[in-house]
Amino acid sequence: MTEQRKLTMVQAINLALMQEMERDDDVLVLGEDIGVDGGVFRVTDGLLAKFGEQRVIDTPLAEGAIVGMAIGMAIYGLKPVPEIQFSGFSFQAFHQIENHAARYRARTRGRYHIQMVVRMPYGGGVRALEHHSESEEAYYAHTPGLKIVIPSSPRSARALLVSAIRDPDTVIFFEPKALYHAVKEEVPVAEETWPIGKARVVREGRNLTLVAYGAMLHRCLEVAERVRAEDGAEVEVVDLLSISPMDTETIAVSARKTGRVVVAHEAQRSFGVGAEVIARVVETAFLQLSAPVRRVTAFDIVYPGFARERGWLPGPDRVLRAVRETLSF
Amino acid sequence: MPRKRLDVPSVEHLSVVDEEGHVDESLEPSIPADDLRRLYRTFLLARRFDERMLRLQRQGRIGTFGPIRGHEAAVLGSVFALQRTDWMVPYYREWPAYMWRGWPLDNLILYYAGYAEGMRVPDGIRDLPLCIPIASQMPHAVGLAYASRFKGEGSVAMVYFGDGASSHGDCQEAMNFAGVFQVPLVFFCLNNQWAISLPRAKQSHARTLAQKAIAYGFPGVQVDGNDLLACYVAAREAVDRARRGEGPTLIEALTYRLSLHTTADDPTKYRDEAEVKAWEAREPLPRFRRYLEAKGVLDAAAEAAVEAEVDAEIRAAVERAEARMQASLLDGFEHVYAEPTEELRGQRAELERELAASAEAAHG
C-alpha cells in the first residue's frame, strides 16, 4: 500500500510545493512574507531553508510587480508560483493577469506562454477584516486564457496544485482559507495529480444535484446527509474543483438524472459562477428538469464585517431550505 | 549635528554629437563603419516606413498607427547596444528596434491592419510583443532579467517606456524590484515631452525623470535623445554594467514626438506649432547623416542607393502583408490554451457551421 500522511490543507499545499520544487529546478515561488516568515498562513514554511533565496523570493510589497515579474520569468521559461497574500489584493495585479498572463499565448501565436500558478487564499469564515474574506473567482473565470482551480480538501489541494504547476497555461489557484486547518485528510506521499477541468461526484444520489466547490462543499455534504436522514431523499453532490474550464459533462449527466439542481457558492450571486452553472444546465438538460434551478450564495452586498458574516455567507440552513423547496417543487 | 546634508548621487547629462553634427571626440564611441551604415539604413527604413504607414492609414488600408518620427535615434542607438541573446521589451512604438532585430516588415503592417498574428515574435528573436497598457511591460523585463541571471546565462534586458509611463505604478514597482534584486536590466525612457495631450511639465514636478532611479538605489543618466551616439554610449555603459552584475540603470532620453500620438490624435488642439518647429530643426536624421558624411562612411551616391533600397523593401512588405490578410477567425481558437478546452471546441464548431452556412448561401 502506498504511504499516506494525514495532513491539513496548508501542509498538503506545502508538500506539493516541496515536491515540485525538488522535481523541477525551474519552479520557484515569490511573494510577500513567503520566505523567512513562511507565508502568513505558513503555506511556504521550510521552502527557503531547502531551496534558497533565489528560488524562494521575499518580494517588496507590490502585487502588480509580483505577478508582472513572474510573467517575465515564465516568458523566459521558468515556472513561477507567485503568492498573493489575500485574494482581495489580487486586483492590484488584475491588469497583469488579464492584460498579459491570459493573453500572451494568443498574442504571440504560441511563441510565448505563461506557465504560472497564482496562488491566493480566498473566501470567508475566518473572522477576518474586509478585503480578507471575499470570493473573487468570477472576475477571473470570465477571462479566456486562464484556468481557475478551487480545491476542497487537503488531498485535492495537493493533487490539483501539482497539476497546476505542470500545466502550460496560467492557473489561478484559490485556496479556501476556512479549510486551511479545518480538516485533516490522508494524502499519498507519492506524487499525485488530478486533471484540471474535471469535477467530481463526491456523493451519489438520484433526487437532486447539489453543485458546490471550496468551503461550500462541506456545508453541502452536511445538508445531503441531513436530507437523507430527515427527508429520505438522495442528494448527489458535485465538487466542481475547476471553475474554468468547467466540467459541463459531469454537471449535465447529474442534472439529467436528478432533474433538480441547486448550486451553492460563497461569492455574491449576480453574474457569478452559479449563473454559469445554471446556463449550462439549461443548455444541456432543459427537458429533464422538474424544478427551477436555484442559487444559494452570499447576498449582493459589500462585505459586512465578520460580526455579520454568518448571515451574509450561505450556511447549511440556507442550502437546506433551497434543497427542500426544490425537492418539493 | 542635528541637520546635515545626505550624500545622494546626482544625475549626469550626456551628449556626443551636437546639433550641427560636431562630435566630442573624447566621448565618441568607436563603431565599425559597417555598423554605422546598417544603423543609417535602419534609421531611413524606419523613417520611410513611418511615412508610408501614415499614408496607408489615411487610405484605409491599415488601422490606428502610432508614428515614431523623432524617436529613431534614441531607439536605434540603444538597441544597438544589445546582443542578439539579450531581451528587448518595447512599449508600443519601438518597431524600429524590431527592424534592427530582424523582424519581417510585413508582420508590422499586418498587425496595424488588425491581424493579431503580426505580433507573433519571430523564432530566435528575444523580443516581447508591443505593449499597449502603459508601463505594464516593465515588470516583465524585471522577470526576464531575473530569470537570465538565475539561469546564469549572461543575457541582459532592456525595457522602453515613455514620460507618461514614468507616472505609472507599474513603472515605479518595476524600478523598485529591479533595484532590490539588482537584476541585469536597462530602463530606457523615451521622454518625448508629450503623453498624448499632457506635457512633460505636468507629468512630473521632478526636474529630470532620470533622477527617479536615485530613489531606487541605482544610477540614472539623461542623454540627448536626438543624438544616436549619445544614446548608444549611455546604453552601452548600462548594458555592460548589467552584464557585469552591477544591477540596473535608468536612461532618460530627451527627444520629441514630432508626429501624432496616433492617427486618431490631433495635436494642434493642445500644443504650439512653434514648439514643434523648434524640435523639427533638431530632429535626429540630418544630425546623424552629417556625422556619417563627416566620417566618410556615407556620401550622396550611397544615400540615394539606400533610399531606393528601403523604398523597394517597404513596397514588397506591403504586398506581402496584404497577401497575408486572411480574415478567418478559426485560428484564434488555437492559442487560447495549449489545448483547446471542450467549451472552445464547441464554440469553434459553432463558428464552422456559421461559415459553412454563409459559404453555401454565397454559392446558393
Quote the CA–CA distance of A154 and A218 in Å, as a whole number: 13
Question: Omega into A245 within 30° of 0, i.e. cis?
Answer: yes
Mean pLDDT of B16-20: 90
The number of angstroms, rounded, from the C-alpha of A317 to the middle of its chain's C-alpha atoms is 23
Quote the CA–CA distance of B162 and A177 in Å, as a whole number: 41
pLDDT of residue A316 exceeding 80, the answer is yes
Cell 529546478 -> residue: A25
pLDDT of residue B327: 80
Instruction: Identify which of A166, A255, A163 has the alpha carbon closest to the alpha carbon of residue A207.
Output: A255
Q: Across the interface, which of B146, B169, B343 has its CB nearest the CB of A69? A: B146
Mean pLDDT of A132-154: 97
Quote the CA–CA distance of B91 and B99 in Å, as a whole number: 15
**Record: contact B128-A75, CB cut-off 8 A:** yes
Q: Across the interface, which of A60, A73, A144 has its CB nearest the CB of B336? A: A144
The strand order across the sheet containing B87-89 reads: B12-14, B220-224, B249-254, B185-191, B157-162, B87-89
Quote the CA–CA distance of B137 and B117 in Å, as a whole number: 19
Which residues of A are known catalytic residues? 132
Using alpha carbons only, give the angle A107, A110, A116 rounded to the nearest 5 degrees.
90
Contacts of B121 in chain A (CB under 8 A): 108, 111-112
| B170/chain A closest Cα distance in angstroms | 7
Band of residue B1 on the pLDDT scale cut at 50, 70, 90: low
Q: Which class for B289: exposed (0-12), middle (13-18), buried (19 or more C-beta within 10 A)?
A: middle
Question: For B44-93, what is each residue's pLDDT tens digit?
Answer: 999 999 999 999 999 999 999 999 999 999 999 999 999 999 999 999 99
pLDDT of residue A1: 60
pLDDT of residue A84 exceeding 70, the answer is yes
Interface contacts A/B by beta carbons within 8 Å: 128
Q: Exactly one of B22, B270, B345, B353 is catalytic; which is it?
A: B270
Contacts of B334 in chain A (CB under 8 A): 110
Quote the CA–CA distance of A82 and A55 in Å, as a whole number: 11
Q: Across the interface, which of B146, B336, B343 has its CB nearest the CB of A73? A: B146
Instruction: Identify which of A135, A109, A113 has the alpha carbon closest to the alpha carbon of residue A123.
Output: A135
Interface test with A, best of B98, B150, B161, B328 (most A CBs within 10 A): B150
Which run of H or of E encompasses B300? helix B300-324
| B22/chain A closest Cα distance in angstroms | 41
In chain B, the residue whose alpha carbon lies closest to the alpha carbon of A55 is B150
Q: CA torsion sign, B130 to B133 to B134 to B136?
A: negative
- At A242, the amino acid letter reads S
| A238/chain B closest Cα distance in angstroms | 19
| A111/chain B closest Cα distance in angstroms | 7
- Would you mind telling me the total number of residues written for chain A in this entry? 329
* Residue A129: Cβ within 10 Å count: 11
In chain B, the residue whose alpha carbon lies closest to the alpha carbon of A25 is B151
Q: SS3 string of B5-48?
A: CCCCCCCEEECCECCCCCECCCCCCCCCHHHHHHHHHHHHHHHH
Instruction: Identify which of A175, A180, A213 has the alpha carbon closest to the alpha carbon of residue A90.
Output: A175
Contacts of A145 in chain B (CB under 8 A): 336-337
pLDDT of residue A186 exceeding 90, the answer is yes
In chain A, the residue whose alpha carbon lies closest to the alpha carbon of B176 is A60
DSSP H helices, chain A, are 9-23, 47-51, 63-76, 94-95, 104-107, 137-141, 154-166, 216-231, 248-258, 273-285, 309-312, 316-327
Quote the CA–CA distance of B161 and B140 in Å, as a whole number: 13
Active site residue B270: yes
Quote the CA–CA distance of B255 and A105 in Å, as a whole number: 34
**Record: contact A64-B116, CB cut-off 8 A:** no
Active site residue B261: yes
Contacts of B181 in chain A (CB under 8 A): 57
Interface test with A, best of B149, B337, B345, B350 (most A CBs within 10 A): B337
Long-range contacts of A281-284 (CB under 8 A, 24+ apart): A281/A251, A281/A252, A281/A255, A284/A248, A284/A251, A284/A252, A284/A255, A284/A256
- The ipTM is 0.96
Contacts of A197 in chain B (CB under 8 A): 341-342
pLDDT of residue B167: 96
| A30/chain B closest Cα distance in angstroms | 11
Give the residue numbers in B contacting A (CB under 8 Å), as ranges.
116-117, 119-121, 123, 128-129, 133, 136, 138-148, 150-151, 169-170, 173-174, 176-177, 180-181, 332, 334-338, 341-343
Q: Across the interface, which of A68, A107, A113 has its CB nearest the CB of B143? A: A68
Mean pLDDT of A35-58: 98
Quote the CA–CA distance of B213 and B238 in Å, as a whole number: 13
pTM, two decimals, is 0.97
CA atoms within 13 A on the CB side of B287: 26
Question: For A106-141, what is each residue's pLDDT tens digit?
Answer: 999 999 999 999 999 999 988 889 999 999 999 999
Helices B228-243, B284-295: axis angle to 10 degrees equals 90
Question: For B104-122, what is each residue's pLDDT tens digit?
Answer: 999 999 999 999 999 999 9
Q: Across the interface, which of B138, B141, B338 has its CB nearest the CB of A113? A: B338
Band of residue A231 on the pLDDT scale cut at 50, 70, 90: very high
Band of residue B326 on the pLDDT scale cut at 50, 70, 90: confident
Q: Are B145 and B157 in contact (CB under 8 A)?
A: yes
Q: Across the interface, which of A74, A76, A168 has its CB nearest the CB of B148? A: A76
In chain A, the residue whose alpha carbon lies closest to the alpha carbon of B119 is A108
- At B47, the amino acid letter reads R
* DSSP annotation of B113: T
Concatenated DSSP letters for B58-112? HTTSS------TT-HHHHHHHHTTS-TTSEEE--SS-HHHHHHHT--HHHHHHHH
Which run of H or of E encompasses A201? strand A200-203
Contacts of B174 in chain A (CB under 8 A): 65, 68-69
Quote the CA–CA distance of B319 and B345 in Å, as a whole number: 34
**Record: contact A62-B332, CB cut-off 8 A:** no
Percent of chain B with pLDDT over 90: 93
Quote the CA–CA distance of B135 and B125 in Å, as a whole number: 22
Contacts of A76 in chain B (CB under 8 A): 143-144, 147-148, 151
Quote the CA–CA distance of A43 and B116 in Å, as a whole number: 40
**Record: contact B139-A67, CB cut-off 8 A:** yes
Which run of H or of E encompasses B350? helix B342-363
Mean pLDDT of A236-262: 98
* Phi and psi, residue B89, nearest 5°: -115, 105
**Record: contact B120-A99, CB cut-off 8 A:** no
Using alpha carbons only, give the angle B123, B126, B129 rounded to the nearest 5 degrees.
90
pLDDT of residue B137 exceeding 90, the answer is yes
pLDDT of residue B154: 94
Quote the CA–CA distance of B202 and A75 in Å, as a whole number: 35
- Would you mind telling me the total number of residues written for chain B in this entry? 364
3-state class (DSSP) for residue A146: strand
Report the mean per-residue pLDDT for chain B: 96
Using alpha carbons only, give the angle B159, B163, B166 rounded to the nearest 5 degrees.
70
Quote the CA–CA distance of A210 and A212 in Å, as a whole number: 7
Concatenated DSSP letters for B154-219? ---EEEEEETTGGGSHHHHHHHHHHHHHT-SEEEEEEE-SEETTEEHHHH-SSS-STTHHHHTTS-
The number of angstroms, rounded, from the C-alpha of B265 to the middle of its chain's C-alpha atoms is 20
| B70/chain A closest Cα distance in angstroms | 28
